[in-house]
Amino acid sequence: MEHLDTPEGQIRISWYTPATECLGMGKRFAVWVQGCYKCCKNCIAKQLQSTKGGELKSVAELADEIVSLSIDGISISGGEPFLQARELANLLKLVKEKRPELGVITYTGYLYEELKDDEYAKPFLSRIDILVDGAYVEELDDGAPMRGSSNQRVLFLTDRYSNEELPKERKNKIIFEDDYFAMIGIPSESTKRLIKLFSSDKEE
Ligand code: SF4
């Protein structure tokens, strides 16, 4: 499968937040990686599709920051995390050496079956507890928690978490800054309407 070419030891990210309760169980560090080759209709993260956008960040520095945080886990979204599977596997390796108790949730547009035998994806998958897989299909968005559309699967890759612990409803938060806005979590219908209002689609 495809892999982004980044300088050694660096990962291309869009942004991250040190702690959120909108992307899984408890308080979690969340990172949105930059770059995605899928073109899901009405993708809510279009600005994260470019493989040239975002910024390069040192994997070691990011790991140091994560291990210093008072959090329950890590959530990885994008963009497409598996385009940078090698870097994310390294990031999780460094983090788990010091904080093995941190559980990991990762969102991908690929199917698990497409990833499980890939040389870069395998070490990354081995450090993930929950994988939410499959491309977003707007027509199948049923408002359920943890995933954007009903074709996507919530796969337990370890026994760290159980079905009973999953959030019962979607949570999301929109952050407005001077020249941009960002959304954390899987959007509800009303949040999607708000995003469309402010998105570049509106300007086209
Ligand atoms: S996989 Fe995610 S980021 Fe990529 S186009 Fe689809 S919804 Fe957007």
Q: Any idea what the CATH number is for the domain that residue 137 is in?
A: 3.20.20
Determine, yes or no, domain membership for 175. Answer: yes
Write the residue with the smallest CA distance to atom 6 of ligand 1.
40
Q: How far, in Å, from the CA of 110 to the mean position of ligand 1?
A: 10
Q: Is the residue at 23 inside a domain?
A: yes
- Which structural domain range is residue 76 located in? 10-203
Has residue 2 been placed in a domain? no
Rounded-to-integer distance, Cα 156 and Cα 164, Å: 12
Distance between CA atoms of 5 and 174, rounded to whole angstroms? 31
Tokens for 53, please give them.
């956008």
The model's pTM = 0.92
Q: Token pair of 95, please?
A: 């983090």
CA of residue 77 to ligand 1 center, whole Å: 10
Which helix (H) or strand (E) segment holds residue 37: the answer is: none
Per-residue pLDDT of the chain (204 residues; tens, 9 = 90+): 889 999 999 999 999 999 999 999 999 999 999 999 998 888 888 889 999 999 999 999 999 999 999 999 999 999 999 999 999 999 999 999 999 999 999 999 999 999 999 999 999 999 999 999 999 998 999 999 999 999 999 999 999 999 999 999 998 888 877 666 778 888 887 777 777 776 654 444
Does the residue 84 lie in any domain?
A: yes
Number of domains present in the structure of the chain? 1
Give domain status of residue 4, yes or no: no
| β partners of residue 153 | 133
The structure tokens 């209002």 sit at 197
Q: What is the pLDDT of residues 155-200, one digit of tens each?
A: 999 999 999 999 999 988 888 776 667 788 888 877 777 777 766 5
User: What spacing in Å lies between the alpha carbon of 44 and ligand 1's midpoint?
Assistant: 8
Q: Is 45 inside any structural domain?
A: yes
Q: Is residue 5 part of a domain?
A: no
Ligand 1 atom with the shortest distance to the CA of 46: 8
